[in-house]
Amino acid sequence: MTAMNNTETHQIWPRVTVIGAGAMGAQIAGVIARSGRDVVLADTSAEALQRALAMLDSRWESSVTKGRMTAEAKLTAYQRISTTTEPVAGCAQADLVIEAIIERVDAKRDLFAAIGETTPVGAVLSTNSSSFVPSQIADVVPNPGRFLGLHFFNPALVMKCVEVIAGPDTDPQILDAATKFVEQIDKGPVVLRKEINGFVANRILNAVRDEAIHLLEGGYASVTDIDRACRTALGYPMGPFELMDLTGIDIGYLTKTARFEATGDTRDAPSRTVTDKVRAGHLGRKTGRGFYLYDEHGSKLGESPTTAAEGDPTHG
Ligand code: 3HC
Protein backbone atom coordinates (compact mmCIF):
# COMPACT_ATOMS: atom_id res chain seq x y z
CA MET A 1 0.00 0.00 0.00
CA THR A 2 1.42 3.33 -1.02
CA ALA A 3 0.18 6.37 0.78
CA MET A 4 -1.51 5.89 4.11
CA ASN A 5 0.39 8.66 5.92
CA ASN A 6 1.02 11.10 3.11
CA THR A 7 -0.43 14.51 2.41
CA GLU A 8 -3.67 15.19 0.56
CA THR A 9 -1.78 16.05 -2.62
CA HIS A 10 0.16 12.82 -2.71
CA GLN A 11 -1.32 10.46 -5.26
CA ILE A 12 -2.96 7.60 -3.40
CA TRP A 13 -2.57 4.23 -5.10
CA PRO A 14 -0.84 5.29 -8.34
CA ARG A 15 -0.96 1.85 -9.98
CA VAL A 16 -4.42 0.37 -10.40
CA THR A 17 -5.59 -2.85 -12.03
CA VAL A 18 -9.22 -3.05 -13.15
CA ILE A 19 -10.45 -6.59 -13.84
CA GLY A 20 -13.33 -6.95 -16.27
CA ALA A 21 -13.57 -4.86 -19.44
CA GLY A 22 -17.37 -4.75 -19.63
CA ALA A 23 -19.45 -1.58 -19.51
CA MET A 24 -18.39 -0.75 -15.94
CA GLY A 25 -14.75 -1.89 -15.92
CA ALA A 26 -13.91 -0.09 -19.17
CA GLN A 27 -15.22 3.25 -17.94
CA ILE A 28 -13.72 2.82 -14.45
CA ALA A 29 -10.34 2.29 -16.13
CA GLY A 30 -10.96 5.47 -18.14
CA VAL A 31 -11.76 7.49 -15.00
CA ILE A 32 -8.60 6.31 -13.30
CA ALA A 33 -6.41 6.97 -16.33
CA ARG A 34 -7.86 10.51 -16.49
CA SER A 35 -6.79 11.01 -12.86
CA GLY A 36 -3.14 10.54 -13.90
CA ARG A 37 -2.69 6.97 -12.72
CA ASP A 38 -1.38 3.98 -14.64
CA VAL A 39 -4.10 1.42 -15.21
CA VAL A 40 -3.92 -2.19 -16.24
CA LEU A 41 -7.27 -3.26 -17.72
CA ALA A 42 -7.54 -7.04 -17.53
CA ASP A 43 -10.05 -9.37 -19.14
CA THR A 44 -9.76 -12.94 -20.39
CA SER A 45 -11.42 -11.78 -23.62
CA ALA A 46 -9.11 -9.91 -26.00
CA GLU A 47 -12.22 -8.83 -27.89
CA ALA A 48 -13.72 -7.21 -24.77
CA LEU A 49 -10.44 -5.31 -24.23
CA GLN A 50 -10.51 -4.07 -27.83
CA ARG A 51 -14.12 -2.95 -27.46
CA ALA A 52 -13.28 -1.15 -24.20
CA LEU A 53 -10.39 0.77 -25.76
CA ALA A 54 -12.47 1.66 -28.82
CA MET A 55 -15.29 2.93 -26.57
CA LEU A 56 -12.92 5.13 -24.54
CA ASP A 57 -11.29 6.41 -27.73
CA SER A 58 -14.67 7.37 -29.15
CA ARG A 59 -15.99 8.95 -25.89
CA TRP A 60 -12.81 10.96 -25.40
CA GLU A 61 -12.71 11.99 -29.07
CA SER A 62 -16.21 13.38 -28.66
CA SER A 63 -15.06 15.32 -25.55
CA VAL A 64 -12.16 16.74 -27.58
CA THR A 65 -14.57 17.76 -30.35
CA LYS A 66 -16.80 19.50 -27.79
CA GLY A 67 -13.76 21.31 -26.36
CA ARG A 68 -14.08 19.58 -22.97
CA MET A 69 -10.74 17.79 -23.20
CA THR A 70 -7.52 18.63 -25.06
CA ALA A 71 -6.17 16.23 -27.67
CA GLU A 72 -3.04 15.99 -25.54
CA ALA A 73 -5.00 15.02 -22.39
CA LYS A 74 -6.79 12.37 -24.41
CA LEU A 75 -3.53 10.91 -25.69
CA THR A 76 -1.97 10.95 -22.21
CA ALA A 77 -4.96 9.21 -20.65
CA TYR A 78 -5.09 6.64 -23.43
CA GLN A 79 -1.39 5.87 -23.08
CA ARG A 80 -1.80 5.28 -19.35
CA ILE A 81 -3.98 2.22 -20.03
CA SER A 82 -2.35 -1.11 -20.75
CA THR A 83 -4.28 -4.32 -21.25
CA THR A 84 -3.81 -7.98 -20.47
CA THR A 85 -5.78 -11.19 -20.96
CA GLU A 86 -4.27 -12.57 -17.75
CA PRO A 87 -6.14 -10.94 -14.86
CA VAL A 88 -4.16 -12.52 -12.02
CA ALA A 89 -0.77 -11.67 -13.54
CA GLY A 90 -2.11 -8.19 -14.28
CA CYS A 91 -2.40 -7.51 -10.53
CA ALA A 92 1.24 -8.23 -9.72
CA GLN A 93 2.28 -4.54 -9.57
CA ALA A 94 -1.00 -3.07 -8.37
CA ASP A 95 -1.45 -0.78 -5.37
CA LEU A 96 -5.21 -1.17 -5.83
CA VAL A 97 -7.26 -3.82 -7.62
CA ILE A 98 -10.85 -3.06 -8.66
CA GLU A 99 -12.81 -6.13 -9.72
CA ALA A 100 -15.71 -5.53 -12.14
CA ILE A 101 -16.47 -9.01 -13.50
CA ILE A 102 -19.79 -10.86 -13.72
CA GLU A 103 -22.15 -10.53 -10.72
CA ARG A 104 -21.65 -14.07 -9.45
CA VAL A 105 -20.20 -14.47 -6.00
CA ASP A 106 -18.43 -17.76 -6.77
CA ALA A 107 -16.64 -16.23 -9.75
CA LYS A 108 -15.56 -13.27 -7.61
CA ARG A 109 -14.37 -15.48 -4.76
CA ASP A 110 -12.35 -17.70 -7.13
CA LEU A 111 -10.74 -14.65 -8.71
CA PHE A 112 -9.80 -13.03 -5.39
CA ALA A 113 -8.47 -16.32 -4.01
CA ALA A 114 -6.07 -16.43 -6.97
CA ILE A 115 -5.20 -12.72 -6.73
CA GLY A 116 -4.70 -12.95 -2.97
CA GLU A 117 -1.93 -15.48 -3.50
CA THR A 118 0.04 -13.40 -6.00
CA THR A 119 -0.44 -9.69 -5.20
CA PRO A 120 1.78 -7.94 -2.65
CA VAL A 121 0.20 -8.36 0.80
CA GLY A 122 -0.17 -4.56 1.10
CA ALA A 123 -2.17 -4.15 -2.12
CA VAL A 124 -5.73 -3.02 -1.54
CA LEU A 125 -8.39 -5.27 -3.06
CA SER A 126 -11.86 -4.03 -3.95
CA THR A 127 -15.01 -5.14 -5.70
CA ASN A 128 -17.36 -3.00 -7.80
CA SER A 129 -20.16 -5.46 -6.99
CA SER A 130 -23.62 -3.96 -6.66
CA SER A 131 -24.96 -7.07 -4.94
CA PHE A 132 -22.33 -8.58 -2.69
CA VAL A 133 -21.02 -7.06 0.53
CA PRO A 134 -17.27 -7.31 1.29
CA SER A 135 -17.67 -10.04 3.92
CA GLN A 136 -19.09 -12.38 1.25
CA ILE A 137 -15.69 -12.32 -0.49
CA ALA A 138 -12.96 -10.98 1.84
CA ASP A 139 -12.30 -14.25 3.69
CA VAL A 140 -10.62 -15.79 0.61
CA VAL A 141 -7.69 -13.34 0.70
CA PRO A 142 -4.81 -13.21 3.14
CA ASN A 143 -5.29 -10.08 5.29
CA PRO A 144 -9.01 -9.33 4.70
CA GLY A 145 -8.48 -5.94 6.39
CA ARG A 146 -7.35 -4.64 2.99
CA PHE A 147 -10.60 -5.64 1.26
CA LEU A 148 -13.51 -3.27 0.61
CA GLY A 149 -16.24 -2.35 -1.89
CA LEU A 150 -15.82 0.49 -4.40
CA HIS A 151 -19.14 0.77 -6.20
CA PHE A 152 -19.26 2.98 -9.31
CA PHE A 153 -22.40 3.99 -11.21
CA ASN A 154 -23.26 3.64 -14.88
CA PRO A 155 -22.04 5.45 -16.96
CA ALA A 156 -18.94 5.60 -14.76
CA LEU A 157 -17.23 8.26 -16.88
CA VAL A 158 -20.09 10.61 -15.99
CA MET A 159 -21.72 9.65 -12.68
CA LYS A 160 -20.05 11.33 -9.72
CA CYS A 161 -20.93 8.89 -6.95
CA VAL A 162 -18.72 6.06 -5.74
CA GLU A 163 -19.94 4.10 -2.72
CA VAL A 164 -17.09 3.05 -0.44
CA ILE A 165 -18.21 -0.02 1.47
CA ALA A 166 -16.50 -1.18 4.64
CA GLY A 167 -16.71 -4.82 5.60
CA PRO A 168 -16.55 -5.84 9.26
CA ASP A 169 -12.80 -6.49 8.88
CA THR A 170 -11.86 -3.52 6.68
CA ASP A 171 -8.96 -1.57 8.19
CA PRO A 172 -10.23 1.97 9.05
CA GLN A 173 -7.04 3.46 7.60
CA ILE A 174 -7.75 1.76 4.28
CA LEU A 175 -11.33 3.04 4.35
CA ASP A 176 -9.99 6.54 4.93
CA ALA A 177 -7.44 6.21 2.10
CA ALA A 178 -10.14 4.85 -0.22
CA THR A 179 -12.32 7.87 0.49
CA LYS A 180 -9.45 10.19 -0.42
CA PHE A 181 -8.66 8.08 -3.48
CA VAL A 182 -12.25 8.53 -4.69
CA GLU A 183 -11.93 12.30 -4.28
CA GLN A 184 -8.62 12.26 -6.15
CA ILE A 185 -10.23 10.55 -9.15
CA ASP A 186 -12.79 13.39 -9.21
CA LYS A 187 -15.71 11.43 -7.79
CA GLY A 188 -17.85 11.95 -4.69
CA PRO A 189 -17.48 9.24 -2.03
CA VAL A 190 -20.49 7.91 -0.11
CA VAL A 191 -19.22 5.83 2.79
CA LEU A 192 -21.13 2.77 4.02
CA ARG A 193 -19.96 2.41 7.61
CA LYS A 194 -21.44 -1.07 7.80
CA GLU A 195 -22.69 -3.59 5.34
CA ILE A 196 -26.19 -3.59 3.94
CA ASN A 197 -27.27 -5.32 0.76
CA GLY A 198 -27.81 -2.83 -2.09
CA PHE A 199 -25.89 -0.09 -0.25
CA VAL A 200 -27.54 3.37 -0.45
CA ALA A 201 -28.24 4.38 -4.04
CA ASN A 202 -29.41 1.02 -5.38
CA ARG A 203 -31.75 0.52 -2.42
CA ILE A 204 -33.47 3.80 -3.27
CA LEU A 205 -33.34 3.05 -7.00
CA ASN A 206 -34.83 -0.41 -6.44
CA ALA A 207 -37.73 1.01 -4.49
CA VAL A 208 -38.51 3.28 -7.45
CA ARG A 209 -38.04 0.41 -9.91
CA ASP A 210 -40.32 -1.90 -7.95
CA GLU A 211 -43.08 0.70 -7.98
CA ALA A 212 -42.60 1.33 -11.71
CA ILE A 213 -42.92 -2.42 -12.42
CA HIS A 214 -45.94 -2.64 -10.12
CA LEU A 215 -47.66 0.13 -12.11
CA LEU A 216 -46.74 -1.53 -15.42
CA GLU A 217 -47.77 -5.07 -14.42
CA GLY A 218 -51.03 -3.74 -12.98
CA GLY A 219 -51.83 -2.17 -16.35
CA TYR A 220 -52.01 1.33 -14.81
CA ALA A 221 -49.66 3.08 -17.24
CA SER A 222 -47.26 2.35 -20.09
CA VAL A 223 -43.48 2.10 -19.94
CA THR A 224 -43.24 5.39 -21.84
CA ASP A 225 -45.65 7.24 -19.54
CA ILE A 226 -44.09 5.94 -16.32
CA ASP A 227 -40.69 7.07 -17.58
CA ARG A 228 -42.17 10.40 -18.65
CA ALA A 229 -43.66 10.97 -15.18
CA CYS A 230 -40.28 10.40 -13.55
CA ARG A 231 -38.57 12.82 -15.92
CA THR A 232 -41.19 15.56 -16.13
CA ALA A 233 -42.76 15.39 -12.66
CA LEU A 234 -39.75 14.43 -10.56
CA GLY A 235 -36.83 15.80 -12.56
CA TYR A 236 -35.09 12.43 -12.99
CA PRO A 237 -32.57 12.51 -15.86
CA MET A 238 -34.13 9.30 -17.19
CA GLY A 239 -37.06 7.11 -16.20
CA PRO A 240 -36.65 3.73 -14.46
CA PHE A 241 -37.26 1.70 -17.63
CA GLU A 242 -34.85 3.80 -19.69
CA LEU A 243 -32.32 3.35 -16.91
CA MET A 244 -32.78 -0.45 -16.75
CA ASP A 245 -32.17 -0.54 -20.51
CA LEU A 246 -28.98 1.50 -20.01
CA THR A 247 -27.54 -0.49 -17.12
CA GLY A 248 -28.67 -3.93 -18.40
CA ILE A 249 -31.87 -5.69 -17.33
CA ASP A 250 -29.79 -8.78 -16.49
CA ILE A 251 -27.72 -6.77 -13.98
CA GLY A 252 -30.85 -5.75 -12.06
CA TYR A 253 -32.09 -9.33 -12.28
CA LEU A 254 -28.87 -10.74 -10.80
CA THR A 255 -28.84 -8.06 -8.10
CA LYS A 256 -32.39 -8.90 -7.03
CA THR A 257 -31.73 -12.64 -7.22
CA ALA A 258 -28.75 -12.20 -4.90
CA ARG A 259 -30.81 -10.12 -2.51
CA PHE A 260 -33.65 -12.66 -2.53
CA GLU A 261 -31.16 -15.45 -1.82
CA ALA A 262 -29.80 -13.42 1.10
CA THR A 263 -33.14 -12.44 2.65
CA GLY A 264 -35.62 -15.10 1.47
CA ASP A 265 -38.16 -12.26 1.26
CA THR A 266 -40.30 -12.68 -1.89
CA ARG A 267 -40.54 -8.88 -2.18
CA ASP A 268 -36.81 -8.97 -3.00
CA ALA A 269 -37.22 -11.48 -5.86
CA PRO A 270 -36.99 -10.29 -9.49
CA SER A 271 -40.37 -9.41 -11.01
CA ARG A 272 -42.09 -11.57 -13.61
CA THR A 273 -41.58 -8.89 -16.26
CA VAL A 274 -37.84 -8.63 -15.65
CA THR A 275 -37.43 -12.41 -15.45
CA ASP A 276 -39.21 -12.87 -18.78
CA LYS A 277 -37.04 -10.24 -20.46
CA VAL A 278 -33.85 -11.87 -19.18
CA ARG A 279 -35.02 -15.32 -20.33
CA ALA A 280 -35.84 -13.93 -23.76
CA GLY A 281 -32.41 -12.26 -24.00
CA HIS A 282 -33.97 -8.78 -24.16
CA LEU A 283 -31.43 -7.13 -21.88
CA GLY A 284 -31.68 -3.47 -22.89
CA ARG A 285 -29.51 -1.28 -25.10
CA LYS A 286 -26.74 -3.85 -25.37
CA THR A 287 -29.07 -6.32 -27.15
CA GLY A 288 -31.05 -3.69 -29.07
CA ARG A 289 -34.22 -4.58 -27.15
CA GLY A 290 -35.33 -4.21 -23.55
CA PHE A 291 -38.23 -2.07 -22.44
CA TYR A 292 -37.60 -0.12 -25.67
CA LEU A 293 -36.31 -1.05 -29.11
CA TYR A 294 -33.07 0.50 -30.43
CA ASP A 295 -31.49 0.74 -33.86
CA GLU A 296 -27.88 -0.23 -34.58
CA HIS A 297 -26.70 3.28 -33.61
CA GLY A 298 -28.40 3.04 -30.19
CA SER A 299 -31.23 5.45 -31.07
CA LYS A 300 -34.53 4.64 -29.41
CA LEU A 301 -37.17 3.41 -31.89
CA GLY A 302 -40.12 3.10 -29.51
CA GLU A 303 -41.55 0.94 -26.78
CA SER A 304 -40.82 -2.79 -26.96
CA PRO A 305 -43.74 -5.18 -26.47
CA THR A 306 -43.64 -6.18 -22.81
CA THR A 307 -45.59 -9.38 -22.37
CA ALA A 308 -45.18 -12.26 -19.97
CA ALA A 309 -43.76 -14.40 -22.74
CA GLU A 310 -41.80 -11.63 -24.50
CA GLY A 311 -43.11 -12.94 -27.81
CA ASP A 312 -41.72 -16.43 -27.19
CA PRO A 313 -44.45 -19.08 -27.18
CA THR A 314 -42.27 -21.45 -25.11
CA HIS A 315 -42.37 -19.06 -22.17
CA GLY A 316 -45.07 -18.08 -19.74
N1 3HC B 1 -21.10 6.49 -21.35
C2 3HC B 1 -20.29 7.55 -21.15
N3 3HC B 1 -20.71 8.83 -21.25
C4 3HC B 1 -21.99 9.02 -21.57
C5 3HC B 1 -22.90 7.95 -21.78
C6 3HC B 1 -22.39 6.64 -21.65
N7 3HC B 1 -23.15 5.56 -21.82
N8 3HC B 1 -24.10 8.48 -22.09
C9 3HC B 1 -23.96 9.81 -22.07
N10 3HC B 1 -22.69 10.13 -21.76
C11 3HC B 1 -22.13 11.47 -21.62
C12 3HC B 1 -22.27 12.25 -22.90
O13 3HC B 1 -21.16 12.03 -23.75
C14 3HC B 1 -22.32 13.68 -22.41
O15 3HC B 1 -21.01 14.11 -22.14
P16 3HC B 1 -20.64 15.67 -22.31
O17 3HC B 1 -21.42 16.40 -21.25
O18 3HC B 1 -19.17 15.72 -22.09
O19 3HC B 1 -21.08 16.04 -23.66
C20 3HC B 1 -23.04 13.56 -21.06
O21 3HC B 1 -22.93 12.17 -20.65
C22 3HC B 1 -24.51 13.91 -21.17
O23 3HC B 1 -25.08 13.04 -22.16
P24 3HC B 1 -26.31 13.43 -23.08
O25 3HC B 1 -26.33 14.91 -23.26
O26 3HC B 1 -26.26 12.57 -24.31
O27 3HC B 1 -27.59 12.89 -22.33
P28 3HC B 1 -28.13 13.21 -20.89
O29 3HC B 1 -28.00 14.64 -20.52
O30 3HC B 1 -29.45 12.55 -20.83
O31 3HC B 1 -27.15 12.41 -19.91
C32 3HC B 1 -26.88 10.47 -18.61
C33 3HC B 1 -26.98 11.03 -20.01
C34 3HC B 1 -25.62 11.01 -17.93
C35 3HC B 1 -26.76 8.95 -18.75
C36 3HC B 1 -28.13 10.91 -17.80
O37 3HC B 1 -29.27 10.57 -18.53
C38 3HC B 1 -28.22 10.29 -16.45
O39 3HC B 1 -27.64 10.78 -15.49
N40 3HC B 1 -29.00 9.18 -16.33
C41 3HC B 1 -29.18 8.47 -15.07
C42 3HC B 1 -28.02 7.53 -14.89
C43 3HC B 1 -28.14 6.78 -13.60
O44 3HC B 1 -29.08 6.90 -12.83
N45 3HC B 1 -27.12 5.96 -13.33
C46 3HC B 1 -27.11 5.11 -12.17
C47 3HC B 1 -27.54 3.78 -12.59
S48 3HC B 1 -27.60 2.62 -11.27
C49 3HC B 1 -26.11 1.90 -11.30
O50 3HC B 1 -25.25 2.19 -12.08
C51 3HC B 1 -25.90 0.91 -10.24
C52 3HC B 1 -25.18 -0.31 -10.71
O53 3HC B 1 -25.02 -1.15 -9.58
C54 3HC B 1 -25.84 -1.05 -11.84
For 63, list phi and psi in degrees, rounded to 5: -65, -35
**CA 5 to centroid of chain Cα atoms:** 29
| Residue 36 Cα to ligand 1 middle (Å) | 22
What is the bridge-based pairing of β-strands 188-192 and 292-294?
unpaired
Nearest in space to 19 (alpha carbons), one of 151, 167, 145, 126: 126
pLDDT > 60? residue 102: yes
Quick check: 160 and 133 in contact, CB under 8 A?
Answer: no
Query: Among residues of the chain, what percentage have pLDDT more than 70?
Result: 94
CB 187 within 8 A of CB 31: yes
Query: Whose C-alpha lies nearest to ligand 1, atom 45?
Result: 154
Q: Which of 132-141, 179-188, 307-316 has the lowest mean pLDDT?
A: 307-316
Dihedral angle sign, alpha carbons of residues 236, 240, 241, 244: positive
Find the catalytic residue in 103, 151, 271, 282.
Answer: 151
Q: Tens digit of pLDDT for each residue in 33-68?
A: 999 999 999 999 999 999 999 999 999 999 999 999
Predicted local confidence at residue 263, as pLDDT: 87
For the segment 120-143, the average pLDDT, to the nearest whole number, is 94
**Strand-strand pairing, 300-303 and 292-294:** antiparallel
pLDDT bucket at 19, cuts 50 / 70 / 90: very high
- Residue 6 confidence class, pLDDT cut points 50, 70, 90: very low
To the query of whether residue 151 is one of the catalytic residues in this protein, the response is yes
pTM (predicted TM-score): 0.89
Tell me whether residue 154 is one of the annotated catalytic residues: no
CA distance 292 to 305: 8
**pLDDT score recorded for residue 131:** 84
